[in-house]
Amino acid sequence: MKKKEWIVLLVIGGIALIGILALQILGKMRAKQNQALQSTYVVDVFVDDKVVETFDPNENATYTIEGNYGLMEIEVKEGQWHVSHVECPNHICEKMGWKTVDDIEPIVCLPNGIQLLARVNGN
């Protein structure tokens, strides 16, 4: 590879790393803000643009959502939630693991068009 090409790759890599760092810092800031404000959160389950279910992450429960491809099972336990089972070809959302209100990345299943987004209760 030419020297110029290495420089371009280093610049792109640098931008990506700055982006990842910024996301991590934002996540920590959000966690601190949550502690300070003691905000209560709810999680909206979207199928495409519509909210089909809203749950309190502090109430242990299991929800089954019908997406565009098949069913998704969401398990909520002690302020955390994860996808325990999903009918889709990728199963990426299952691998995303447990999420809390401090996590900046939401759980998304693109084949089903399902997104799990946390928001401050009342907003």
Task: List the one residue from 33, 77, 96, 120 that touches another protein (CB under 8 A).
Answer: 96
Stretch that binds another protein, among 10-18, 30-38, 51-59, 71-79 (CB under 8 A): 10-18
For residue 94, which phi and psi values (nearest 5 degrees)? -65, -35
Q: How far apart are CA 122 and CA 111, in angstroms?
A: 30
Asked whether the beta carbons of 68 and 80 are under 8 A apart, the reply is no
Cβ 52 to another protein shortest distance, Å: 15
- Nearer to another protein among residue 22 and residue 29 (C-beta): 22
Q: Decide: residue 103, CB within 10 A, 0-12 exposed, 13-18 middle, 19+ buried.
A: middle
Instruction: Name the site residues for another protein (rule: CB under 8 A).
Output: 1-2, 5, 8-9, 12-13, 15-20, 22-23, 48-49, 68-69, 89-92, 95-96, 104-106, 108, 110-111, 113, 115
